[in-house]
Structure 1
Amino acid sequence: MSLRVEQLSAGYGSIGVLRDISFTVEKGEVLGVLGRNGMGKTTLIRALAGTIAPSQGSIFLEGEEISKLPDYQRARRGITTVVQGRGMFPKLTVRENLEMGRIAGGRAKRNRRDEVLSYFPRLAERMNQLAGTMSGGEQQMLAIGRGLMTDPTVMLLDEPSDGIMPTLVRQIAETLAKINRAEGMTIIIVEQNVPMVFSMADRCIILEKGRIVAGGSKDEIAQSNLMKEYLAI
């Protein structure tokens, strides 16, 4: 078992966002988290990553409770997060951004740069380019690559298609699926781009007002009335 969440509630100060969230993601599984804006998807990613503290409930990674660990300690246990907006160091080069990922992980036993560049050949062409001068799609590739430099077992992705051309969205989704197959990495992807999620995910959950209102295989979710009601497709 890779990641287990039990009765998790979280928010910001007195404002509750997530309410009694429970799910399990097995090792090597891809879980898609769907829902409209403001339903708690990003808050879930932040709670799992450790950038906000849960008000109640527990998070377990490989059987170890990590609910009270800060984000950097979770990173050192194998959780990497690709935030919405990509979170680049715009004035650093591609090479330097990747190196920052390796340092931030604090646990990598090996330098994974060659593997990252094999997944994203476009980055190899831009190693000395400032990250802030690249396109949105290229920056997203760099953000994912930087996450891989930590040698993670769990990757959390928050809206990776945001602001990216459709052709690059498909390319990034295909690469993430390739990484998942090759490395057995557990992936939790928060997205409003339903086709992207369905191209990758083994299972999906739908969040509505901070609660899980549906869950199952992507085929079950695609055929559900909730999908039409909550996501208007």
Structure 2
Amino acid sequence: MLELTGVHVGYGRTSVVHGVDVSVADGGVTAVLGHNGAGKTTLLRAAVGLLPVRSGRVTLDGEDVTRLRPHQRVRRGLAYVPQGQQSFGQLTARENLQLVADGAGSAGASRVDDALDLFPALRGLLSRRAGLLSGGQRQQLAIARALVTGPRVLVLDEPTEGIQPSVVQEIEDAVATLTAQRGLTVLLVEQHVGFALAASQRYYVLESGRVTSTGAGGAEQEADVRAAMAL
């Protein structure tokens, strides 16, 4: 569904990602693991069009989207949830969702309902300003807002970072539901190795902007992956 081939990305004169190949299969979870500074976020930003690819190619469901702008990729079914539980803090949770729903036309209302079904705790918080929500609640809101775009591929960057354990489990359950019941494809960057491997069908380990290990996902791979990452 999403494929990055020979991708080189950087900032200014600094190269960060060096010829990376990542293939994200339709309807499952692909995890990208690695230490801080390995190039994981840079790779995701290139995948969704927020950073230009210096060389290489990004394809979405067989279409070359390497030169498309981020909003054009969104229209083709690519949604991105960056690090940091990002939201419009002065707007209510309902208004955050409605901003996206307004651009979805007649499908907007039903997509909001579907997203709230995934995170039912948000229903009681819709009138609260997003800036007053907890970190876990803001993360749920950020994922819900991305889902309102109607994506085929959801790109998640550290969705459990800094989140209280009870909400971490809810986010893990939501990812499982999205793939198993709704057929969504997920590209996941995650520091929580156990969760990432348990959720994924394939993993990639990134180190200094290069893939150093890859294989089939599954919780049983955790010891080998931790050894590869020297954790």
TM range (shorter): over 0.9
Deviations 1:140-179 (A, max 9, x none): 1000000000010000001111110112111111111111
1:11-50 equivalent positions in 2, closer than 5 A: 11-50=10-49
- 2:123 counterpart of 1:121: no
Structure 1 residues 231, 191: closer, same or farther in 2, change over 3 A?
A: farther
In the TM superposition, what is the alpha-carbon distance from 1:6 to its structure 2 partner? 0.8
SS in 1 for 2:80: strand
- 1:173 and 1:45 mapped to 2: Cα distance? 20
RMSD between superposed Cα atoms in Å: 1.6
Query: Does structure 1 conserve the Cα–Cα contact (< 8 Å) formed by 2:213 and 2:228?
Result: no
Contact 1:5 1:60 in 2 (8 A): yes
* Partner secondary structure for residue 183 of structure 1: coil
Gaps of 5+ in 2: none
Give the direction of change, closer, same or farther, for the CA distance of 1:160–1:188 in structure 2 (3 Å limit).
Answer: same
Q: Partner residue of 1:222?
A: 222
Instruction: Find the aligned partners of 1:107 and 1:27 in 2 and give their Cα distance.
Output: 26
Equivalent position of 1:52 in the other structure:
51
SS of 1:73's equivalent?
helix
2:193, 2:222 within 8 Å by CA — same for their partners in 1?
no
Q: Assess if the C-alpha contact under 8 Å between 1:214 and 1:221 holds in 2.
A: no
TM-score (norm 2): 0.94
Structure 1: state its 5+ residue gaps. none
Percentage of identical aligned residues: 37
Q: How many residue pairs align between the two structures? A: 229
Q: What secondary structure is seen at the aligned counterpart in 2 of 1:139?
A: helix
Tell me the amino acid that sits aligned with residue 177 of structure 2. K
How far apart in 1 are the matches of 2:209 and 2:151? 27
SS across alignment from 1:69: coil
Q: Distance in 1 between matches of 2:221 and 2:67?
A: 32
Matches within 5 A, 1:99-110: 99-103=98-102, 109-110=107-108
Q: Is the 8 A contact 2:8 2:15 kept in 1?
A: yes
- CA–CA separation in structure 2 for the residues paired with 1:175 and 1:231: 29
Write the deviation string for residues 13-61 of structure 1: whole angstroms up to 9, x where unpaired.
1110001111211210200110000000000110001000011000011
Q: Matches of 1:132 and 1:20 in 2, distance apart?
A: 39
C-alpha contact 1:108 1:149 (8 A) present in aligned 2: no
The letter for the 2-side match of 1:162 is E
Deviation, 1:101, is: 2.5
Residues 206/120 of structure 1: CA separation in 2 closer, same or farther (3 Å cut): same
The CA distance in 1 between the partners of 2:102 and 2:230, in whole Å, is: 39
2:106 and 2:150 map into 1 onto residues whose CA distance is 5
**Corresponding position: 1:94 with 2:98:** no
User: Aligned with 2:38: secondary structure?
Assistant: coil
Tell me by how many angstroms 1:116 deviates.
1.1
Map residues 180-191 of structure 1 onto 2, 5 A cutoff. Answer: 180-191=179-190
